[in-house]
Structure 1
Amino acid sequence: MTAKVIKAPAAQVRGAAAMAMVRDLLVLAKARVVSLLVFTGAVGAVLAPDFSRHLLAAGAGLLGIALAGGAGGVINQLIEPSLDQHMRRTRSRPLAVGRISRRHAVIFAGALFAAAVFVLLAATNLWTLAFTLIGTLGYGVIYTVYLKPNTPWNIVWGGIGGALPPIIGWTAAGGAPDALLPWSLVALVSVWTPAHFWPLAICCREDYAQACIPMLPVTHGVDRTRYEIVKYAAATLIVSLIPVIANQNAVYAVAATGLGLYYLGMTLKLRHMSADAGMDHYARRVFQASISYLFALFTLLVIGHYMGPSGLVRKAGAAVLTLGRHMAG
């Protein structure tokens, strides 16, 4: 007896194909990385003094970060599909396996970049546009083409482009481009990036070696890389306290100190482990913890800012007192 072959409805097949395409486009645009860029940009925006008066421009700035960041991600994969094929972490990317053609990826990158420029020109200002273009050029071209294949310190310099969203969000929300607070956040992300990325590079060192990419664990060894991770984690702790000067934020000061010491302790533990599979597993934990660390720092900075002397809680209290005096009078 022949079994019946049940065919899915055509609409269901088309829907599944469309969802698969959307997932591939998100991977191509490095949506996970871009989400972190948008988050740090949003923090820069909400900390700006006149944020509430520039909500539309701030939203446009964040959309510009997302679009331009996505374009940079596509450019990165367009330049190095052969490298992606050599690494377990990246060899299933849509360009590496051919699910998306190079021609379509170029069109996608161009559309994202053009949309970013249009949005930023239409709704923000030239400072916001300039910083966004610098970040996109820094990651998509300077890091990918020149730094990554030529120097083991690529992430130190290349990470600067990905650190600009706080100043982009700040200027989009009407903040002055020379203010200390957003630039202290740019500096924080810059020094955090090497300590964040190198634990992952330790886990993937064999893949990087096979792909002939001169990442620090490949060129200088695991011990030197672990030393540099500790050094940059300590620098991150120090730089994370600079926003206290600009923001007078006691909540953030206490939290940044505690979180920084905890993360530094993790990197010290990694530094003194035996170089085996257990170390690789722990290195991945450090990599994941670094993301939570940055997220917590920026979140607590915002919370502390709005709870502080110049924040909404104090303003709301003053408004209530003023209303009470008027009612009593």
Structure 2
Amino acid sequence: MPSLSALLGLCKLKVVALILLTAVVGMFLAVPAPYLPDAVLVMTASVGISMASASAAVFNHIVDEQIDIQMARTDKRPLPQGRVSRNQALVWGVFLGVVGLGILQLFVNTITMVLTFISLIGYAVVYTIYLKRATPQNIVIGGAAGAAPPILGWTAISGTQSIEYAFLLFLIVFIWTPPHFWALAIFRVEEYKKVAVPMLPVTHGVAYTRLQILLYTILLFLVALLPYLVGMSGVIYLLSAVILGFIFLGYAIKIYTSPEDNRITWQTFVFSINYLMLLFVALLVDHYFLIIL
């Protein structure tokens, strides 16, 4: 039997935590301030969404096992190390997915279960099995699955009521995804070449990818202003979005203007995670301390 730590190692817990944060913020924003969403519903939806996300991560590990063995970033994962067999991982992934989706269906609502299932298939099958190996736009197209959690959180609490605001949160994560992953892809470009994964810097070159990171970061800066511009959020969020956006843009400019310094790509990748976390925390804080100028 595999150890609990090995099974949890298949779940990409840090990624799941970020997914859960964006989903929970979606839950709270779905309820007009100063009211709070039902605590039991928040907890139940969080468990279901987290388990489904972990299931998708497990299937990603299974499909990518041969790639992971050859990459320094991933060769210590449970499957390449032999701490979990493929059959054990498959059972674990199915268990997480079935239970997670079951919780959403039984204790939350059908629309959240269906959207979560679509996201799971989008990441575990469409992205991992096909897009990742088929096109340098894999991250762009597949990013839709990773951007869904704010919508899942919103529908868990309010169904489709005012769901257009949830799509603004989706759009932020969707535009954030390419510069986030392309920074890592540049940093690990030789490894991606070795395993023949057509990431953008492999197919179009590092210089082109640096430009795309800059352009997407500029677009992200603008998109992140939309919650304020449509009256969804106030000045607390606006100031946070502007400050975080300028910092992110500064990293993107450094990537573009300092091609010889590969360290900046890793620093950008790390900051991009902090950017998204802080931006969504700002959305939540602003929701309950709304200041509109």
TM-score band, normalised by shorter chain: over 0.9
Q: Which amino acid aligns with 2:3?
A: M
Deviations 1:6-39 (A, max 9, x none): xxxxxxxxxxxx9x82222222011111111001
2-side partners of 1:68 and 1:177: how far apart?
24
Contact 2:233–2:283 (CA under 8 A) maintained in structure 1: no
- After TM superposition, the score normalised by the length of structure 2 is 0.94
What one-letter code is carried by the residue in structure 1 that aligns with 2:185?
A: A
In structure 2, the residue matched to 1:326 is none
Unpaired stretches in structure 1, ≥5 consecutive residues: 1-17, 311-329
Aligned to 1:179: 163
Selected match of 2:62 from 78, 85, 105:
78
Match of 1:41 in 2: 23
Distance 2:233 2:98 in 1: 39
Q: Give the CA deviation at 1:103.
A: 0.9
Which residue does the alignment assign to 2:219?
A: 235
Q: Structure 2: where are the runs of 5+ without partners?
A: none
From 13, 30, 46, the counterpart of 1:62: 46
Query: Deviation of residue 147 (structure 1)?
Result: 0.3
Q: Which has the higher contact order (CA 8 A, sep 6+)?
A: 2
Q: Could you list the per-position Cα deviations for residues 215-261 of structure 1 after superposition, in whole angstroms to 9, with x for gaps in the alignment?
A: 11111111001001011111111111111114141110122112112
Letter in 2 for 1:163: A
Q: Supply the distance in 2 between the matched residues of 1:107 and 1:175 (Cα, whole angstroms).
A: 31
* Structure index of larger Rg: 1
The answer to whether residue 275 in structure 2 is matched with residue 293 in structure 1 is yes
What per-residue deviation string (whole Å, max 9, x for no partner) do you get for residues 296-318 of structure 1? 111111111101169xxxxxxxx
Q: TM-score, normalized by length of structure 1? A: 0.84
Q: CA deviation at 1:97?
A: 2.1
The size of the alignment, in residue pairs, is 289
2:7 to 9, 22, 25: 25
2:132 matches 1:148: yes
1:99 CA displacement: 1.1
Match of 1:247 in 2: 232
3-state DSSP of counterpart to 2:36: helix
1:127·1:177 contact (CA, 8 Å) conserved in 2? Answer: no
Matches of 1:53 and 1:47 in 2, distance apart?
9
Cross-structure match for 1:123: 107
Which aligned pairs between 1:1-329 and structure 2 lie closer than 5 A?
21-49=3-31, 52-176=36-160, 179-244=163-228, 245-275=230-260, 279-308=261-290
Please give the alpha-carbon distance, in whole angstroms, between the structure 1 residues aligned to 2:80 and 2:53. 20
Q: Is the 8 A contact 1:167 1:177 kept in 2?
A: no
Distance, in Å, in 1 between the alignment partners of 2:168 and 2:24 is 15
CA shift digits 1:86-136 (9 cap, x unpaired): 110001111112110011101100110111111101111111111111110
Q: Distance in 1 between matches of 2:67 and 2:80?
A: 9
- Given the superposition, is the C-alpha separation of residues 304 and 151 from structure 1 closer, same or farther in structure 2, using an over 3 Å criterion? same
Q: Can you list the C-alpha shifts for 1:115-171, whole angstroms capped at 9, x where unaligned?
A: 111110111111111111111011000000110001011000111101111011111
Give the counterpart letter for 1:214 in structure 2. Answer: P
Determine if contact 1:64/1:120 at 8 Å carries over to the other structure. Answer: yes
Residues 258, 88 of structure 1: alpha-carbon distance in 2 compared, 3 angstrom cutoff: same
- Partner SS state of residue 149, structure 1: helix
Deviation for aligned residue 1:280:
1.7
Distance in structure 2 (CA, Å) of the matches to 1:176 and 1:100: 40
CA distance in 2, matches of 1:28, 1:36: 16
**Identical pairs, percent:** 37
